[in-house]
């Protein structure tokens, strides 16, 4: 079983680079899923996307991601909410950002237990972007088959 959930940044609360969405996840089975995404932005202002802003990551907070780690200098693993990366692409003279379902590897997650979550757009240094135009985000959930 797999399904998609489509989000438009105009429907969430807060700044586009730190957007809160709500969704009723109660229809989902309580099991493990592979999570992938596709992303498409509106035309961006060129001055906002130079240097470290040309590639950015998408993080989802309040999502129960599994086995998704961030390396650090402390010799211990820490969890990360990053689900993948998006790069700047010029399409017909527009500065858009996009990522397809096959651009990033899937991450594992469980059924979300909270109907409110944040989508954060982070620069290469892990800092929130300071400006971003509208975007669409599609999350694809694919149920993981369990082998006994």
DSSP 47: G
Higher pLDDT, 94 or 4: 4
CA distance 15 to 127: 14
Provide the pLDDT for residue 104: 77
Residue 67 confidence (pLDDT) above 60: yes
Neighbours of 133 (CB within 10 A): 16
Q: Is the predicted pLDDT of residue 72 greater than 60, yes or no? A: no
**3-class DSSP state of 126:** coil
Across residues 3-17, what is the average pLDDT?
92
* Residue 76, beta-bridge partner list: none
- Report the pLDDT value the prediction gives residue 9, as an integer from 0 to 100: 93
Residue 64: phi and psi, rounded to 5, are -80, 75
- For residue 70, pLDDT over 60 is answered with no
Percent of the chain topping pLDDT 70: 71
Give residue-wise pLDDT tens across range 73-119: 555 555 678 788 777 665 555 566 666 656 777 888 888 888 999 99
Q: What are phi and psi of 133, to 5 degrees?
A: -80, 180
Q: Which of 99, 12, 107, 21 is nearest to 64 (CA)?
A: 107
As given in the structure block, the two tokens for residue 87 are: 């790069």
Cα separation, 35 vs 146, whole angstroms: 16
Q: What is the predicted pLDDT for the residue at 108?
A: 87
Residue 61: what pLDDT? 82
Model pLDDT, residue 63: 79
């Amino acid at each position: 079983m797999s399904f998609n959930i489509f989000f438009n940044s105009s429907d969430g609360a807060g700044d586009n680079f730190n957007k809160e969405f709500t969704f009723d996840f109660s229809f989902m089975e309580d099991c493990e899923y592979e999570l992938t995404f596709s992303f498409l932005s509106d035309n961006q202002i060129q001055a906002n996307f130079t240097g470290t802003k040309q590639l950015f990551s998408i993080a989802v907070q309040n999502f129960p991601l599994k086995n998704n780690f961030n390396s650090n200098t402390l010799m211990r693993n820490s969890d990360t909410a990053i689900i993948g990366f998006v790069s700047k692409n010029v399409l017909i003279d527009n500065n858009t950002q996009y990522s397809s379902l096959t651009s990033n590897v899937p991450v594992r997650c469980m059924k979300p237990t909270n109907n409110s979550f944040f989508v954060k757009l982070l620069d290469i240094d892990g800092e929130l972007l300071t400006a971003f135009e509208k975007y669409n985000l599609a999350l694809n959930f694919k149920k993981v088959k369990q082998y006994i």
